[in-house]
């Protein structure tokens, strides 16, 4: 009886009684929609060229005589999304680039607007602990260091503990490369106890660490579930700290007879290290972001980092920075030591440029470090359109799981976006030019040193090679704006002698100043100074 009444009612309305799902345009959301509603017909509606009005008309025609339960549209296809919202105001299921979905509805106006603005769905419904203590989806921070083995202590060797938010293998980003190389060189004369947070390490990665460290301890990767704006301390300083880990670290240091602690990265300052390694002066990064954005959110990030970092710089016995610029920014000259980044000159070696074929451009930068995402967006959105129609290929090495740190979008066929690459050296060999389009930066960039050692010409913004001592037109090509950056790329591609001259000068400069052996000696001298002059017996 109920089914008969239903059929009669929809017959009066001139519609079929069974529901249907419309999909605005083609794309991955169509396949996902079919997977989600296997028992309901899914109709993909191709949208004609033109504006949102033409797309709206196509959707309304497709809906004629049908009972539309939902209309699926992509957030990044604004024309289709606007047409769907106009045609079916409360029945739009929006998909972002990660294929997360949200029912756009007036009953959840804030959530709907945030989702349409590009905020990941799992962040939309976060509430700080102080505002919603009853909420179940809370941060999970590790509470213990798990032993992972090591080669043990050797008689007479001085002992040092190092704590880092990232274990140095795999070498998925510049900071890991620096830590790994310095630990490897310094372990010849020191016994090192390493503390770090796990992040997809393999047995081979732990094998490398055991061979160079006396003991290795790992904590689980934190699951931080507080809104970024909600903490007085910077979120990263909260994410990698727990009182239980702090107490456990001190207990293990005492058991092993270790009195000197070095912390890598500013956010680890809560572990009260003797030596704080500032891979970059972090508040300087946020000052650059705030100068560009001038928003309340950027001011809040800057205020928190500046307050936290200044206290950390005062508390540590010694501060390690990457460049003279960062030493000046730190503002504590009496205890600041410059130990620059380096490069493996044997691994990254000169190779002949590829002969003929399509010119290869290379950008290397893990997206987990937000300045690299900003650099890529500048390259993609402002520089690349100025190279339209040129015979080029661009390879981007974005590090592990880049989709977690930016909103993926369809890319030009000339662009290849790679995730984690275990060995980038062959990519430098294939490259004609290396691009460093950094718009906000601090510290010094290891990718610049790798390009220099590989004898490849670099086109960079000034901040991309800051602190390295390179000179425009002699060992690097510098460009401030998108126009200048694109013009620099074309100039060097067309002028092979200039390109090769810059590359050769950069390699010579790397050989003179940036080998890891000499840099490791500075690190060991600092450890010996704070340990009271202990030396290898």
Residue 131 pLDDT: 78
More confident of the two residues 138 and 81: 81
3-state secondary structure of 199: coil
Residue 443 pLDDT: 53
Q: Place 461 in a pLDDT band, splitting at 50, 70 and 90.
A: very high
Q: What is the mean pLDDT of residues 419-430?
A: 88
Spatial separation of the C-alpha atoms in residues 530 and 525, rounded to whole Å: 9
Q: What is the mean pLDDT of residues 450-473?
A: 91
**Whether pLDDT at 13 is above 50:** no
**Whether pLDDT at 5 is above 80:** no
More confident of the two residues 320 and 227: 320
Domain 146-338 and domain 360-514, same fold? Reply is yes
Residue 152 pLDDT: 95
Residue 323 pLDDT: 86
Q: Place 333 in a pLDDT band, splitting at 50, 70 and 90.
A: very high
**Whether pLDDT at 442 is above 80:** no
Least confident of 260-274, 366-380, 402-416, 507-521: 402-416
Q: Place 97 in a pLDDT band, splitting at 50, 70 and 90.
A: confident
Residue 17 pLDDT: 66
Q: What is the mean pLDDT of residues 122-144?
A: 82
Q: Place 536 in a pLDDT band, splitting at 50, 70 and 90.
A: very low
Q: What's the 3-state SS for 469-516?
A: CCCECCCEEECCCHHHHHHHHHHHHHCHHHHHHHHHHHHHHHHHHCEH
Cα–Cα nearest to 505, from 335, 350, 283 = 350
Spatial separation of the C-alpha atoms in residues 514 and 501, rounded to whole Å: 19
Q: What is the mean pLDDT of residues 136-158?
A: 92
More confident of the two residues 184 and 422: 184
Q: Where are the domains of the chain?
A: 15-124, 146-338, 360-514
More confident of the two residues 117 and 531: 531
Of the candidate CATH numbers 3.40.50.2000, 3.40.1280.10, 3.30.70.920, 3.40.640.10, the domain formed by 146-338 belongs to: 3.40.50.2000
Q: Is the CB of residue 398 less than 8 Å from the CB of residue 365?
A: yes
Please state, rounded to an integer, the average pLDDT across all residues of the chain.
89
Spatial separation of the C-alpha atoms in residues 454 and 457, rounded to whole Å: 9
Question: CB burial class (10 A; 0-12, 13-18, 19+) of residue 537?
Answer: exposed
More confident of the two residues 15 and 421: 421
Q: What is the mean pLDDT of residues 114-129?
A: 81
Here the tokens at position 101 are 């979905």
Q: What is the mean pLDDT of residues 66-83?
A: 91
Most confident of 9-13, 81-85, 135-139: 81-85
Residue 172 pLDDT: 74
- Which secondary-structure segment (H or E) carries 391? none
Q: Helical H runs in 24-120?
A: 28-36, 52-63, 78-87, 109-116
Tell me the CATH number for domain 15-124: 3.40.50
Total residues belonging to the chain: 537
Question: CB burial class (10 A; 0-12, 13-18, 19+) of residue 51?
Answer: exposed
Buried b (16+ CB within 10 A) or exposed e, 321-339: bbbebbbebbeeeeebbeb
**Whether pLDDT at 1 is above 60:** no
Q: What is the mean pLDDT of residues 173-188?
A: 91
Q: Place 49 in a pLDDT band, splitting at 50, 70 and 90.
A: confident
Q: Place 3 in a pLDDT band, splitting at 50, 70 and 90.
A: low
**Whether pLDDT at 89 is above 70:** yes
Residue 16 pLDDT: 56
Q: Is the peptide bond before 282 cis (omega within 30 degrees of 0)?
A: no
**Whether pLDDT at 338 is above 90:** yes
Q: Place 10 in a pLDDT band, splitting at 50, 70 and 90.
A: very low
More confident of the two residues 14 and 144: 144
Q: What's the 3-state SS for 279-309?
A: CCCHHHHHHHHHHHHCCHHHHHHHHHHHHHH
CATH superfamily of 360-514: Glycogen Phosphorylase B; (3.40.50.2000)
The DSSP 8-state label assigned to residue 180 in this structure reads H
Residue 444 pLDDT: 59
Q: What is the mean pLDDT of residues 203-218?
A: 96
């Amino acid at each position: 009886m109920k089914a008969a009444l239903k059929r009669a009612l929809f017959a009066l309305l001139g519609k079929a009684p069974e529901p249907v799902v419309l999909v605005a345009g083609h794309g991955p959301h169509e396949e996902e929609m079919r997977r989600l509603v296997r028992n309901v017909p899914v109709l993909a509606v191709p949208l004609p060229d033109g504006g949102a009005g033409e797309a709206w008309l196509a959707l309304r025609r497709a809906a004629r005589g049908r009972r539309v339960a939902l209309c699926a549209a992509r957030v990044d296809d604004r024309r289709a999304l606007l047409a769907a919202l106009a045609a079916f105001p409360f029945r739009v299921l929006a998909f972002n680039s990660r294929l997360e979905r949200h029912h756009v509805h007036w009953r959840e106006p804030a959530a709907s607007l945030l989702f349409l603005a590009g905020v990941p769905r799992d962040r939309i419904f976060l509430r700080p602990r102080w505002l919603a203590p009853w909420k179940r989806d809370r941060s999970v921070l590790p509470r213990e260091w798990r032993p992972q083995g090591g080669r043990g202590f050797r008689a007479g060797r001085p002992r040092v503990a190092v704590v880092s938010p990232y274990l140095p293998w795999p070498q998925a980003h510049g900071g890991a490369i620096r830590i790994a190389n310095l630990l490897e060189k310094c372990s010849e004369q020191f016994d090192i106890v390493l503390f770090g947070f796990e992040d997809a390490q393999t047995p081979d990665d732990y094998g490398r660490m055991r061979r160079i460290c006396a003991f290795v301890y790992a904590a689980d990767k934190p699951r931080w579930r507080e809104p970024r704006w909600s903490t007085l301390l910077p979120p990263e300083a909260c994410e990698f700290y727990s009182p239980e880990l702090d107490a456990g670290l001190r207990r293990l240091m005492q058991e092993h007879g270790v009195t000197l602690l070095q912390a890598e990265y500013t956010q680890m300052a809560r572990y009260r290290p003797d030596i704080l390694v500032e891979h970059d002066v972090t508040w300087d990064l946020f000052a650059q972001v705030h100068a560009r954005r001038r928003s309340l959110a950027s001011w809040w990030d800057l205020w928190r980092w500046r307050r936290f970092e200044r206290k950390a710089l005062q508390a540590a016995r010694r501060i390690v920075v990457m460049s003279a610029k960062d030493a000046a920014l730190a503002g504590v000259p009496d205890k600041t030591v410059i130990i620059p980044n380096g490069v493996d000159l044997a691994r990254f070696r000169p190779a002949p440029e590829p002969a003929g074929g399509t010119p290869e451009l290379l950008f290397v930068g893990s997206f987990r470090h937000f300045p690299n995402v900003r650099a890529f967006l500048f390259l993609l959105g402002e520089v690349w359109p100025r190279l339209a129609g040129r015979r080029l290929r661009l390879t981007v090495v974005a590090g592990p799981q880049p989709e977690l740190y930016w909103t993926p979008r369809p890319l030009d066929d000339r662009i290849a976006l790679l995730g984690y690459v275990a060995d980038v050296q062959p990519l430098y060999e294939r490259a004609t030019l290396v691009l460093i389009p950094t718009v906000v930066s601090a510290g010094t960039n290891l990718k610049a040193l790798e390009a220099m050692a590989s004898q490849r010409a670099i086109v960079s913004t000034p901040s991309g090679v800051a602190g390295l001592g390179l000179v425009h037109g002699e060992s690097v090509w510098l460009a401030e704006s998108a126009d200048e950056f694109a013009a620099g790329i074309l100039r060097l591609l067309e002028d092979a002698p200039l390109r090769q001259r810059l590359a050769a000068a950069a390699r010579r400069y790397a050989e003179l100043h940036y080998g890891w052996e000499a840099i490791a000696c500075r690190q060991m001298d600092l450890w010996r100074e704070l340990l009271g002059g202990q030396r290898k017996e």
